[in-house]
Amino acid sequence: MEDKALTYIRGLLNIKDDVIPKFDLSDMESPNYKDTIENINLILDENDPNAVKYLWNHIIIPFDYKVDLDFTEDAKGFIESYLYKREEWLKNSSLYYHNDLSLNILRNINPPMEGENVILRVGTNLDEDLYYKHLIEDGDFLFYTMIPLESSNPKNVALNLYHPYSFIVENKKTKEALGLVALRPLRKDQNFQSPLEAAALSYYIYKEHRNKGYAKEAVALLMDAYFNERLVALTTKDYKYEMEANYNKAISISLDCSEKNYASIALAKSLGFKEEAILHNTWYFGDEYSNGIFFFLDRDSYFKL
């Protein structure tokens, strides 16, 4: 059964969109219902780079659907996320450009990425609280956000972890959250409603977990997914109130940090980034403003490393 299901799914991935059958979970009495569940489990378990995009665009689930315990953890989480975002989109589509609502809708839909010591996964409400707690208690709020604490909106800052290309860095063994790694659209005319192209890198490892190699491994995992164009995000279609999943387009990744942030400078150089420019007095580091260093890595250079 498993070999047949995987062959079937891989075949579907190569068929043009207009003739791809849907994964239909709308009728629990259907004779194909159990096979559909098994196929969804298999396609996510296989970590096929097409899986998330394919399932998002071709699955049929009613909004009152109850997630069945027969699903694997990844499939269950994907369907819960799918139902939440589709429902939010339909309820709030007329308010699409409202900042908070768009962030709620355009959350990360990528499956976890696993390394030797860390896993990159989507954020949860618990991560939101922990992320903000560390920004305050570690004294990193101004350094990381460039916004004075007294004039910031904590909710907006914490929502950073829900962006389409933001990942919680998790300890593979202990399952403890270690921090955040993310990519942002670099071009000024691009936003989270378009497929990612040129990107800016950011990362934040909680103070107690620094200097243990977690940041480098997490960034390397994200770079690999980006340059191999495996990252998926919800983007707008030609008509305003509809969403579809699309892959990123790999152009380049930039990174800037304080000239006094020796750990980040060492990390950038160790991953192949090249120093491009000095940005004068752009970072608040060590209770004073300092120059920033701008690093850059393009797709061709990455594959020559």
Model confidence pLDDT, tens digit, residues 13-67:
555 444 456 778 888 888 778 888 887 887 777 666 667 777 777 788 876 788 8
CA dist., res. 94 & res. 20, Å (int): 30
pLDDT band at residue 211 under the 50/70/90 scheme? very high
- The encoded tokens of residue 116 equal 């030797």
Q: What is the mean pLDDT of residues 227-242?
A: 74
CA 35, 41, 47 angle in degrees (round to 5)?
A: 135
Contact assessment for residue 3 and residue 39, using Cβ atoms and an 8 Å cutoff: no
Q: What is the mean pLDDT of residues 88-106?
A: 50
Residue among 135, 288, 129 at smallest CA distance from 207: 135
Q: What is the mean pLDDT of residues 136-159?
A: 75
pLDDT (0 to 100) of residue 150: 67
**Alpha helix ranges (H) inside 93-237:** 99-105, 125-137, 141-145, 154-158, 214-227
CA dist., res. 226 & res. 252, Å (int): 9
The DSSP letter of residue 69 is T
274 has pLDDT over 70: yes
pLDDT (0 to 100) of residue 97: 40
Residue among 294, 293, 215 at smallest CA distance from 252: 294
Residue spans per domain, the chain:
1-95
CA dist., res. 114 & res. 180, Å (int): 15
pTM: 0.72
300 versus 69: the higher-pLDDT residue is 300
Residue among 230, 241, 195 at smallest CA distance from 86: 241
155 has pLDDT over 70: no
DSSP β-ladder status, 23-24 and 59-60: parallel
As a 3-state breakdown, the chain gives helix, strand, coil percent values, each rounded to 5, of: 40, 25, 35
CA dist., res. 217 & res. 208, Å (int): 17
79 has pLDDT over 70: yes
End-to-end CA distance of the chain: 41
pLDDT band at residue 214 under the 50/70/90 scheme? very high
Neighbouring C-beta atoms of residue 159, cutoff 10 Å: 19
